[in-house]
Amino acid sequence: MAAPSRPAIPGPLCPSPRLLLGPGPSDVHPRVLAAMGMPLLGHLDPEFVALMDETQELLRYVFQTENRLTLAVSGTGSAGMEAVVVNLIEPGDPMLVCINGVFGARMADVAGRAGADVQVIERPYGEVFDPDEVEAAIQRVRPKVVGIVHAETSTGAWQPLEDIAQIAHKHGALIAIDTVTSLGGVPVHIDEWDIDAVYSGTQKCLSCPPALAPVSFGPRAIDRISQRTTKVQSWYLDMTMIKNYWGSDRVYHHTAPITMNYALREGLALIVEEGLEARWTRHALNAKALKAGLAAMGVGVWTAEGHQLPQLTCARIPDGIDDLTVRKRLLQDWGIEVGGGLGSLKGRAWRIGLMGHGSRQANVTLLLAALETCLRDLGHRFEPGAALGAAAEVYAGSSKSVLA
């Protein structure tokens, strides 16, 4: 058999410029991009080890926790999900998963693959769970772990957690939460809420590329891991080994993605410089302006009022407007990416992300102007300029609290 012929020389890589206003990845801050271009260090180099320590300290601040076992798993947010589930679950363990979107369903799938006896409760897309219904399910299932999504990326639903965490503990269960879309964009208080295990991702409100998954395990979760009678299903995600690499012993486990750790360190440093409260306020203000502009064009939101994430708006596509036609034009004419609906919302929703570095007034204004043009040209009727005017009114009154 002849060897493959030499391909044509492809030349240097040159991706088209995009404004990433979808559900992730989000735009990366220029300082993060610059950090990724710095020289590599070895994964056991003293300077890199010091960077790991610094990153852990910064992650504890962003998670609002004192948990010692707080680190960045080498992998995307889904790797963080698997890391939490496979470390807390042994074959046959009952686990209750709350599903109100695609990523709750993914958690249930991961738990089933880890051998859990998975039981689920469900809510329609865009809704959140009431503590009483979760307690009723816990009493029925008697789970060892309750899994729930804090910020459902498929719908923009923002789930309150404090009462549910207390209920889980009252019945002897651990609580594990998904903060992939929430971390850095809305309040996340791991210690105050008494959360046992949490995972996130770097590509949303942390304004870094996808590649790492911040996780944190509290005392109850660590006790559960230490009392396991079986090995963790995944060698790569086994916290009993990974903690020895991130801990004082620095026992080799795997070759960490050095450049991505540079990026995360810089992204977290930017959050500290801005301050968490100021960052949450910025996200809330820009979301308020976006939703005002959408409403002025007759575009509603799928997510229940009072539970809408500021960093991810799940917009209701008006009747008679084709999803792909609008998204393709946004990309071709303005270089703007927004996401389509998932699951039952496919073709019925646009998922608009204003995350991290991407949550800026200039982006809100550009997107609303572009959407006005697209919808007008497709025959959707509204007052010209109404969207930009409504957003401008929000910004003009931004001295008032926008977190209420």
Write down which residue in 222, 245, 272 finishes a domain. Answer: 272
Between 2 and 327, the more confident residue is: 327
Are 297 and 310 contained in the same domain?
Answer: yes
Look at residue 402 and tell me whether its pLDDT is greater than 80.
Answer: no
Q: Mark which of 253, 272, 291 sits at the end of a domain.
A: 272
Whether 144 and 280 share a structural domain: no
75 Rama class: left (phi>0) / alpha (psi -120 to 50) / beta: left
299 and 208, same domain (yes or no): no
**Same domain (yes/no): 102, 176:** yes
What pLDDT was estimated at residue 331?
Answer: 98
pLDDT per position as a tens digit, 181-232: 999 999 999 999 999 999 999 999 999 999 999 999 999 999 999 999 999 9
Up-side HSE of residue 58: CA atoms within 13 Å toward CB?
25
Instruction: Render pLDDT for 56-85 as a digit per residue (tens, 0 to 9).
Output: 999 999 999 999 999 999 999 999 999 999
Q: Which domain holds residue 159?
A: 30-272
Give mean pLDDT, residues 16-45: 96
Bridge-based pairing of strands 212-217 and 69-74 is: antiparallel
* Tens of pLDDT, residues 300-316: 999 999 999 999 999 99
Q: For residue 113, tell me if it sits in a domain.
A: yes
> Does 338 fall in a domain?
yes
Q: Assess whether 217 and 294 both reside in one domain.
A: no
Mean pLDDT of 290-297: 98
pLDDT for 399 beyond 70 = no
Q: What is this structure's pTM? A: 0.95
Percentage of the chain with pLDDT > 70? 99
Tell me, what's the pLDDT at 249? 86
Whether 126 and 161 share a structural domain: yes
Q: Is the pLDDT of residue 377 over 90?
A: yes
315 and 358 share one domain: yes
∠ CA 17-19-23, nearest 5°, is 130
CATH number for the domain harbouring residue 210 = 3.40.640.10
CA distance from start to end of the chain? 69
Count of domains observed in the chain: 2
In DSSP terms, which residues pair with 214 in a beta bridge?
Answer: 72
Residues 6+ apart with CB under 8 A from 71: 52, 55, 56, 59, 214, 215, 216, 242, 243, 246
Question: How many degrees, rounded to 5, is the angle at CA 398 between CA 394 and CA 400?
Answer: 115
Interval 77-102: pLDDT, tens:
999 999 999 999 999 999 999 999 99
Task: Write phi, then psi, for 354 (nearest 5 degrees).
Answer: -120, 85
| Same domain membership, residue 357 and residue 241 | no
Residues sharing a CB contact under 8 Å with residue 226, sequence separation 6 or more, in sequence order:
240
pLDDT at 257 over 70: yes
> Does residue 24 fall inside a structural domain?
no
Quote the mean pLDDT of the chain: 96
Question: Is the pLDDT confidence value at 401 over 80?
Answer: no
Please tell me whether residues 259 and 302 are part of one structural domain: no
Domain shared by 91 and 139, yes or no: yes
Instruction: State the CATH number of the domain containing residue 308.
Output: 3.90.1150.10
